Structure 1
Amino acid sequence: MNSGNIRVLILDLGSASRNELVRQLEEHPHIKVVGQAAHRRLAIRLLQQLMPDLLILTLDTSSADNVEVVETIMATSAIPILVMRFCPENQWDDDYISRGALAVLHHSSDSPLSTDALHRKVELLVGVKVIRHIKGLRYPTEPVMPVVRATMDAAQMPQDWPFVLAIACSTGGPQALSKLLQALPGSFPCPVLIAQHIADGFAKDMVRWLDSVTELKVRLAQEDDRVKAGYVYILPPEQHLIVKNNQRLAAIPRQDSDVYHPSCNLLLESVAEVFREKAVGLIMTGMGSDGCRGIELIFRRGGRTLAQDEESSVVFGMNKNAIDKQLIHRTIPLDGLAKALLAMACHGHFESKLP
């Protein structure tokens, strides 16, 4: 058994050649198969425990269900994925790639894959930097939530919300948020989700402070919270949170490599995917570039994007990145943000500087 510098996890969904694949891989002096899984849940657990460099998904059939496996894994782990299908059907190959896999290889008795070719592909893929794909969490592995009761207040139904507001901010953010929330009435008819970079353990104090200065209900967001209009959800830094299709929040464990806590990008990307043209992204004062990717997805999905202007920002960084990339419909001073949001929510008014 080799010592191995490239750690590989195999998720085998029915191939007849798994043992042969392991033998082929470990003929390379620097490749080590560190684990094998027969289903998605075990693979996700092993990814967290073993931290491999590459996941190889082996298939004896190609289907939409297997595409979903790739999507779900990429929503929970940033890992290069190689799909190896031991079947002739190739109609799903593009879907594997679009959901996050880096490559699809066909291996069969008619067109066998040489050991050298396999080694070269593994060496190539482990050097590719990948990111999580939020969209996968739109297909949750947990049981689907029951249908909302008809007695629920109609004002709380998602189809009646003018939009869902997702805010990204960092340095200078708490003070800016306090001014913004003070200016919004308790009747503001939209949910507000905020990803503010903050040190572990300090979110509860910020929630108490912000709740004391606004008529809106400010809450520390938690997994499985249902998003409601009139509420402000402050994400905790100890984990990342995103919105799922059932309007509930889902947690994504923090990784040692994550720079920003909580992630603005993950929140904004999920709001873009779930609410699309009903998503409004606001990027405020802060250092770095977190949130820019999420703002871009809101922009591409037909939502509206706002940015705090330079003059009113403590640090003109996160918002500057988005503005420079021409992803912002309107740049607004801090003291004008509440007025603009109210005009959008109550009257549908939105003046865009972009075509």
Structure 2
Amino acid sequence: MSIRVLLVEDSLLALVILKRILNLSEEIEVVGEARTGLEALKLIPEVEPDVICTDFHMPQMDGLQLTTEVMTRYPKPILVISVSVLENDTDHIFELLEAGAVDILPKPPTGLATDNEFFRQELINKIIILSGVKVFKRKRRFISKSEQQWQIDSTTVHNQIDRLIKIGNTAAFSSDFFPKPKVVVIGASTGGPQAIQELLAQLPSDFPVPVICVQHICIGFLQGFIDWLNKSCSLQIQIAQPGNVPKPKIIYFPPEKQHLELDSRGQFIYSEKPPVDGHCPSVTTLFESVAKFYGKKTVGILLTGMGRDGAKGMQVIAEAGGFTIAQDEATSIVFGMPKEAIQLGAAKQVLPISAIAPMLLNLVYKQTSTLS
């Protein structure tokens, strides 16, 4: 059965080109076209798409308003096909993800009319992936820095850990079995921006270990992603610089198109080695490098994402004696990377996204607690 796609784009030329591209795939059928968000809302119950592809800038109802309405009325996987990336647009794109869109794909800077094989393949691949993801009718409301201070202020962290960890059918867990972490590494792909935001927003401003993240993301969107995270995170966020040593209270990301590693002195270095599992920067490359330097004092977290990047790296962390956490299937938009790690036996804990930050606080602040 074909994947049913609804295209939402105010440019008639772009609509024609997008439809022509998708018609190249035997797995995809374009079942509807809309020039505005209002038109799209009327079409959705009629054509029942599996995936919605929408632009951001449109008259009457833009992509953000459309996404909000769709996720409230009849949730569907949404792919944002954005205009060429501009500094003042990237922040809006991540607001779309926050509203419920699953992924983003920038239009080629030279326009859709150019012969761009990479864009064609990316578009088809993303639609195929999105057709199999889970979406939820209600999404967690955005929590601003001021609203969340009561729960992440460092003076209340110890009192909040037991409250934050859900207690149901529980098994005893004690962080005393593991050494206090010296570093936390996080990897994610599809669905990662939303998961990373939820996790990092719960960490206090004086979180005593550095956090290093790799998020697979389209070229040109990294700074916008960081700016968006800054709205909800209390920790400083920056792109790692060569020669610097990871410091507490800071979240680091690699630059675009380069692997991020630690050298023998624990300093950041960039690497232009070939992509690992199809990705540069690679989660596995970071995980292996950090495990080599920090050993059993490493915490590795693998979140939602397509493919297998990070699974072997998490295995290296586990073999070094570090603590490893994989996001569970129920809360992963795409249960690919975490599943690979679990199948390798590399995950010491498999947790819903809501329980990962509390577990991390438990490990870092050395409290004994319970977990579901």
Q: Which amino acid aligns with 2:194?
A: Q
Q: Which amino acid aligns with 2:319?
A: R
Number of aligned pairs?
194
> Measured at CA, do residues 334 and 257 of structure 1 come closer, stay the same or move farther in structure 2, by a change above 3 Å?
closer
Q: Which amino acid aligns with 1:340?
A: M
Indicate which of 196, 201, 209 corresponds to 1:190.
Answer: 209
| Mapped contact 1:198–1:262 kept (Cα < 8 A) | no
- Structure showing greater relative contact order (alpha-carbon pairs closer than 8 Å, 6 or more residues apart): 2
Please say which structure displays the higher CA radius of gyration: 1
In the other structure, the counterpart of 1:163 is: 182
In the other structure, the counterpart of 1:217 is: 236
Look up the SS of the partner of 1:213 in the other structure: coil
The answer to whether 1:324 aligns with 2:343 is yes
| Mapped contact 1:282–1:306 kept (Cα < 8 A) | yes
Distance 1:256 1:182 in 2: 30
The 5-angstrom pairing of residues 1-355 of structure 1 reads 162-255=181-274, 259-347=278-366, 349=368
- Compute the displacement of 1:281 (Å): 0.6
| Mapped contact 1:242–1:251 kept (Cα < 8 A) | yes
| Mapped contact 1:164–1:278 kept (Cα < 8 A) | yes
Q: Scaled by the length of structure 2, what TM-score is found?
A: 0.49
> Measured at CA, do residues 211 and 257 of structure 1 come closer, stay the same or move farther in structure 2, by a change above 3 Å?
closer
**Aligned residues: CA RMSD:** 2.1
Distance 2:212 2:308 in 1: 19
In the other structure, the counterpart of 2:112 is: none
Distance 1:322 1:204 in 2: 29
| Mapped contact 1:193–1:234 kept (Cα < 8 A) | yes
The unaligned stretches of length 5 or more in structure 2 are 1-178
- Compute the displacement of 1:314 (Å): 0.5
Distance 1:220 1:277 in 2: 25
- Compute the displacement of 1:190 (Å): 1.0
Give deviations 1:178-229, integer Å, cap 9, x for gaps.
Answer: 1111111112111100011112221111111112211011112232232001
Distance 1:311 1:176 in 2: 13
Q: Which amino acid aligns with 2:270?
A: A
- Compute the displacement of 1:247 (Å): 2.5
- Compute the displacement of 1:352 (Å): 9.8
Distance 1:351 1:276 in 2: 25
> Measured at CA, do residues 349 and 250 of structure 1 come closer, stay the same or move farther in structure 2, by a change above 3 Å?
farther
Q: Deviating runs (4+, > 3 A) in structure 1? A: 348-353
Distance 1:323 1:349 in 2: 24
The unaligned stretches of length 5 or more in structure 1 are 1-159
Give deviations 1:2-56, integer Å, cap 9, x for gaps.
Answer: xxxxxxxxxxxxxxxxxxxxxxxxxxxxxxxxxxxxxxxxxxxxxxxxxxxxxxx
Q: Which amino acid aligns with 1:231?
A: I
Q: Which amino acid aligns with 2:298?
A: A
Look up the SS of the partner of 2:231 in the other structure: helix
| Mapped contact 2:209–2:247 kept (Cα < 8 A) | yes
